[in-house]
Every structure is written in structure tokens, then in C-alpha cells.
Chain A
Amino acid sequence: MSVATRAPQTRAAETASVDSRHVTPGRRHSPTRRLKHAWSSTLWGTVSIIVFVCSVFPVYWMLNTSFKPNADVISPTPQWWPENFTLRNYVTVLFEPARPDRANFPSAFMMSLAVTGLTLLICLLFAFIGAIAVSRFKFRGRRQYIIALLVIQMIPGEALMFTIFGMVDSWRLLNTVIGLTIVYLAGVLPFTIWMLRGFVAGVPADLEEAAMIDGCTRTQAFWKVTFPLLAPGLISTGVFAFIQAWNEFLMALIIMQGPGAYTLPIWLRAFQQATQSTNWAAIMAGSTLLALPVVIFFLFVQGRMTGGLVAGAVKG
């Protein structure tokens, strides 16, 4: 019996066909088998816990350290739990006074918020109308445009950093929110158009046409029928753009060189350099504060992350 012919049969029929062959009846349920089964499920359970511990450990260690007084952090024997629980490290970071030579958390936070928010807003607007153009219109060059979007994503920012720096400098936009936002827009637009394109294509144009037959104008049909269906797609794409801009390091390092203009990742690195080996507890508190918004948003859209990144590959 070939694999192909057996495939559509039911499980019961398969078991029956096994029993009718040379396999000893009842062997599947013999005590040794059951023991082996129990043993293997314990084994895989243990391995699962090891995987869990390995992936979570640095996050746990970061939180654990951030809630301990610094004296406990540098004690010779590590404490696995913040025995003298304190929020002082967070206070140190959040209310660190501004100094002319050094950025402080509040200013870096505001900077990150401004750049990320502006990038998000403009990027979603541009990407949304762009995505509608490439998925709802037939025009010459459409295919080439979509392929170009894919190829652009492969060009490493590392290679362009100095020419981009020169351009932003010549526009007198170094150390400004606008300057970094323009740089980030170019970074996130290809992917967001690509991602939104999938969502727009997922809403059938027939729906819009049906609404138009029922008396809507084209614009009304779009806003009343298509747009509400696209809202989840816009949210996921927006979260993606947010995470990208919030975490971005290289361009911020180059464009935002004045301490007053630091974004959070640059601030964290500078803070770590300035206090290294004296205040790890505060560094971990800073690290937690940088990670917190991203982790929250990330968990929010996690289901779409893999699908979006490998595009159509999952279809096999």
C-alpha cells in the first residue's frame, strides 16, 4: 500500500491495517511502551523548562538587579531575589538632574517619544496611500515598484551612514527631531508599504463595489467599508514602525550627537559608559525602562511578526 493512497484514510482504518499486518497485537500499549512514553514526556518537559529558563534568564536578571540597592548588587554572592526591594534605582534614573555634558533620562525619553511618534504618524499616512496605490490600481511599473521595495530593504544603513549624515548636516538638521525622523521614514517606509499592501489586498475590492452599487460614492465606500476592515492591519503595521524607530541605534548615534538630543538607546549606552562598574543597578533600571514599552507593544502584535517578516514563505 503506498503512502499516497493511505493518506486520506481515517486513523481507525490505519490502526486496523497495522494490526492486520505483522506487528504484534497490543504491542503499542505494552508496559514498557507506556513507561517509555512517560519517560520521554518527562524528558521533553524538562528540556522545555531549560529552553524557557535560558530565554527568560537575562530579562529576569535585569529586573532582579534593577530592584536591588546597589550595595546588594555588588555583594560577592548574588541574590536571586531582591531581598531589600527598592525603587530607588528607578528614581535615580527618572529624576537624574540634567547636566550640560550628559543627557538625562527625561530629555532622552521625550526625544525618543517625539521622533518615534512623528515617524509613526507620517509613515502610516504615506504607507497607507502607497499601499492602496500598489494593491488597488493596475499601472505600468507596479510590479517593478513592489520588487524595488523589497530590494531597498536589503541595502544596509551602515553603508549609507556618512552620506546621510552629510545630507542632514547640510540641511542644518543635525540634533533635531525632524532630521532623525526623515532618516527613519526612509528606513521604515519600504517595509510598512509592503506589510500594509498585504492587508489591503486581503479586503476584497468586491465589497467596495457592492457598497457603490448600494449607492455609496467611491470615497464613501472606501471610508465606510474598506477602512474599518483595515484598522487591525494599520495597528500592527504601526506597532512595527514604532518598535523599529524606538530601538534604532546607528542613525541616532550619528545624527543626534549632542547629549541634549540623545534618544533612549543612545542615552542608555552613554549612561552605562558613564557609570560602568559603579552603579549596575541603575543601569538595569534604565535598561528596563527602555525595554518596557517595546515589550508591551511587541506582545500585542506578536502573532503577525513572523507572518509579516517571511512574507509568503509560510505558505510553503
Chain B
Amino acid sequence: MTTTVSEARAEQPTPDRPRKHTRKKRLTPWMMLAPATIVLLVMTGYPLVKMAINSFQKYGKAQIFGAPPEWLGLKNYTDTLTDPTFWAVAGRSFTLMAVLVVATMSLGILIALLMMRVNGFFRLLISIGLLLAWAMPPVSSVVVWGWIVDTKYGLLNWVLNTVTGTTDWSGHSWLIDPLSFYAVLTVIITWMSVPFVAFTVYAGLTQVPDEVLEAAQLDGAGAVKRFGFIVLPYLRSILLITAVLQMIWDLRVFTQVYTLQGLGGISSQTDVFGTYIFHLGSSNLGAAGAVSFIMVAMMLVISIYYVRKTVKDEEI
């Protein structure tokens, strides 16, 4: 005890040194976190607050060129929520999300089950295919699919002509009609998202103990019953987290929709939240702010389950 004190004196003869030392120790982790925290506060925190403020202001062309923004109260929100365009966009976004989540999850689970069933060679084959699809950059994927469904020289129209033995499909545009635009979009996004679900579910499936499955089989449970009563309960949390992540990713989809619109879709009929905000922002930043705020709120509500579950699992 005495030696420590005397040593401390010898180094730095200030009486409050121990207190300073603990304060320094307490500050060390924050000093280490400072660079990342500053970037996040400036580039995410501030824009979030600014966007929220903008959503209560009139922020049009005049303001971009320096006029002070005018306070509107809730007008941007009431305007947005009474605008049929917004509801059309919301309807499209949610329908697209629902279709995508169902398609991606069910295909992913089926492929994972298939990987459990087949031998090593076929499992490797499936893995290679899924990895390639997964690794493709979104813009490349959309452009390639756009080429496959191309009006003039696309492979799809040729296949349909050949199968039906007619020339009905020559020059058929798949992107002009909103419904068929969404069908193409669904195929593209499902193709890109299934690998993640399949690999995750497969990883989960390998954790289901064989003994329990065998026991159930011997007790006379068929494949469907074994899946429903044993595999599903084991996989419950993985499936829920994967589904929530898919919901979040599918609801905020931008790149694929925007690129596909560039390939021949009509944006006013095919906008989802992301592209709607993008197109709205060029004329009315206040309204774009209101839609953005609604979008952020939705995302946070959907992600509550994911965050809580992750915090619990990781024992933070």
C-alpha cells in the first residue's frame, strides 16, 4: 500500500492522481469508440433528426436555392396520408414484401430440406449454384434478367414461342404492364434471396439431433409429422429471424426496382417506398421527409423482434 503511493508520488507528485487514473480508465473505451461514433452521429444521427425536422416543413424548389423553410406543422403528414398515390405505393410495397417473403422462405426451406436428403455430390452441386446466385451484384443480376426477358431478343419470348409453336410472344414486353413487371421483379429478388435462407435453414437443420428424428420415425411419425412436430420447433427461432430480416430487406428494396424501371418499367405505376421517396425528393423534400419518417418507423417496429432476440441470444 505504502509502496504504491510512494511510487505514484515519485512519478507524478499530484495528490489526485488515483482519481485521474480511474477517470482515464473509464474514458479509454469511449476514446476507442470515438472515431466510429462520430461517423455514425454525423452521417446517420444528424440526417435522421434533419429528416424528421424537414418532414414538418415546406421544403420545395425555393428552399433548395436558399429560401428559409416554412413550418407547416403536420401538413406534410396529412397530405401524405390522404394522398391516394401514397396508399398505392404502400399497398404495392407490402404486397410485394408479402409475396417475396412467402416465396423466399418456402423455397429456401424446401431447398434446405432437399440438401439434407441428398448425397454429398448433389449437395455440393446445389451449394455451388446457390453461392453463384447469391454472389451476383444486384445491378448485374437485374441487367441479366432484363436481357433474358428482353422484348426483342430475349430468351424468354423465344422459349414461349417455341413451346407454344406460335409467334405470339415475339415483341412481348414484360415490363410495361405493372403486374408482369412485378412478376419479373419477384423472380429476380427471390432468385437473389433464396440462397441466404437456404444456407441458414440448412445450418439449423444440421443441429436437429438425429436420435430424436429416428425415435419419432420408429414411433410411426411420417415425414410431414416429423417436420411439423420436431424440426419446426427446433428451427422456430432461426425461421422467425430469417423471416424478419427478409421482411426488412424486401420492404426497403430500391436497387432492383430502380434498375428494372430503367429497363422499361413505368415508374409511376411500379414505385415502392424507396423509389417513391427518390422520385418525390426532386420536387418536394418535405413530403419525401414525411414518407421517409413513416418508413423508418415501420422498419423499427418490424425489427423490434429481431433486435430483442439477437440481444438475448448473444447475451449482451
Contacts and interface: CB of A to CB of B under 8 A. Distances in A.
Contacts of B144: 58-59, 61-62, 284, 287
A3 B195 CA distance: 34
Contacts of B36: 126-127, 130, 189, 193
Interface string A120-134: 000001110110111
B29 A269 contact: no
Interface stretch (B5-13, B98-106, B252-260): B252-260
Contacts, number: 317
B125 A272 contact: no
Interface in A135-152: 137, 139, 142-143, 145-147, 150-152
Contacts of A316: 204, 207, 234-235, 237-238
Nearest to B281: A162
Contacts of B237: 313, 316
Contacts of A294: 135-137
Given A156-B252, A287-B143, A298-B131, A310 B245 contact: yes
Given A151-B307, A247-B139, A73 B114 contact: no
Interface string B65-98: 0000000000000000000000000000000000
Contact of A246 (B48, B128, B137, B141): B137
Given A52-B129, A247-B137, A313-B241, A61 B155 contact: yes
A51 B111 CA distance: 8
A110 B117 CA distance: 46
Interface residues of B, number: 111
Interface string A40-61: 0100110111011111101101
B186 to A, nearest CB: 14
B36 to A, nearest CB: 4
Contacts of B152: 74, 277
SS class of chain B's interface: helix, strand, loop or mixed?
Answer: helix
Interface in A234-259: 246-247, 249-250, 253
B46 A167 contact: yes
B40 interface: yes
A76 B152 CA distance: 9
Contacts of A129: 32-33, 35
Interface string A174-207: 0000000011011001100100000000000000
- What 10 pairs across the A-B complex have the smallest Cβ distances? A312-B313, A186-B43, A159-B292, A55-B129, A298-B135, A133-B32, A137-B29, A48-B122, A158-B274, A163-B47
11 contacts: A58-B145, A133-B32, A150-B310, A163-B47, A167-B47, A182-B39, A186-B44, A193-B36, A247-B139, A253-B258, A314-B203
